[in-house]
Amino acid sequence: MSRSSSSTSRRAEVPRPAATSRPVRGSRSGGSLAAPIIVAIGVVVGAICFAVTTWLLDSADLGVEQRLARLEAESATLREELASARTERLGLQADMARLRDEVSLMANRAPVVAPPVGADMPADLGSEDFEQTPTEALTEQMKLAKAKFNKGITQPRNATMFAILGNPREDYGTDCRPLTNPRLSALKETRQIGPITVTMLKPALDSLTVVLDKLKASDPDIYAKLGTAGALCARFIRGSSTSISNHSWGTAIDITLEKQLDGFGDGGTQFGLLILAEYFNEEGWFWGAAYNSREDSMHFEVGEETLRKWQAEGKL
């Protein structure tokens, strides 16, 4: 055998190393990117879930707050309505008590006795013009013609006064007592108006000033002889133990002439008060001479229409 063939045979017998498979290009980079992508997706999903959850919670909180605010507003409205109903009830109770007192006064009033023939009778003014009636006695008693006065002016009942001004104080008697209502106390003022010194609510004092200024210009004689038997006075009305006088609110005044009180409930009135009543009526004051069962000619009080006007103007 030749040398060349033997060497060839030996080379053929040498074992070759086992073939190994080559890694697929790109497999290592693909494995390294999968985990961050999954984490990123998780973070995004988590953020979305957190945002949605937060929004839902915020929406729920906002809805609850809105409902609570609405309930609080409704509750406040109900409390106001309840307070108004209680005030109205107090006023109605006082008005009923006043009506009972008036009925009692009428039932117990002494019968009218006809004067003897030829006796002096008070002048009946009828439809005459009071300003043209010649007289020098301001306190001369005249027969009252009620229909001529308080036209378009309503006497404010206790229910109205409670509704507009509130309760002056918690308890009353037949004597004058001070105000305990802070609102009314803040409106109270004492003022010198012409010949009289008066304590009332400020809007009432302003209105009274207008009345007396007109009186001074047109009837200076009456103006000079004016006096007062009182204004602000928290008490029951005369002869009652339940009905509250409108003097209690500082919107009423009793007027005297030549320091003389006009007779209460006698159906007549001083001549000067007849003239003065026209000035008060012009300013929206109600004249007590026209009370149905208890004529009170020296009493003047702010009418309901005027009070509501002041209320609308923010004066009260």
* Sequence-distant (≥ 6) Cβ neighbours of residue 60 within 8 angstroms: none
Structural element, H or E, at residue 37: helix 27-108
CA dihedral 22, 26, 29, 35 (to 10 degrees): -100
* pLDDT by position in tens, the chain (length 316): 444 444 444 454 545 555 444 544 544 555 567 777 888 888 888 888 888 887 777 776 677 778 878 888 888 888 877 776 776 676 666 666 655 555 444 433 333 333 444 444 344 333 333 333 444 466 555 455 667 899 999 999 999 999 999 999 999 999 999 999 999 999 999 999 999 999 999 999 999 999 999 999 999 999 999 999 999 999 998 778 888 999 999 999 999 999 988 776 666 788 889 999 999 999 999 999 887 667 789 999 999 999 999 999 999 9
The pTM for the full model equals: 0.59
Q: Is 236 helix (H, G, I), strand (E, B) or coil?
A: strand
Q: What are phi and psi of 201, to 5 degrees?
A: -70, 150
Count other C-beta atoms under 10 Å from residue 90's C-beta. 17
Give residue 40's pLDDT.
80
Question: Are residues 91 and 160 in contact, defined by beta-carbon separation less than 8 angstroms?
Answer: yes
Give residue 232's pLDDT.
96
Structure tokens at 25: 């290009």
Q: Measure CA of the first residue to CA of the last residue in the chain; give whole Å.
A: 144
What distance in Å separates the CA atoms of residue 56 and residue 91, rounded to the nearest whole number?
52
Q: 202-211 — which CB contacts under 8 Å span 24+ positions?
A: 202/315, 203/310, 203/315, 203/316, 204/250, 204/251, 204/302, 207/283, 207/284, 207/285, 207/302, 207/306, 208/253, 210/283, 211/279, 211/280, 211/282, 211/283, 211/285
Give residue 134's pLDDT.
40
Question: Are residues 261 and 229 in contact, defined by beta-carbon separation less than 8 angstroms?
Answer: yes
CA distances from residue 275 to 75, 83, 219, 295 in whole angstroms, order as listed: 52, 42, 9, 17
Closest CA to 200 of 249, 254, 257: 249
Amino acid letter at 315?
Answer: K
Look-up of token digits 């009972």: 100
Domains of the chain: residue spans and CATH: 127-312 (3.30.1380.10)
Question: Are residues 151 and 281 in contact, defined by beta-carbon separation less than 8 angstroms?
Answer: yes
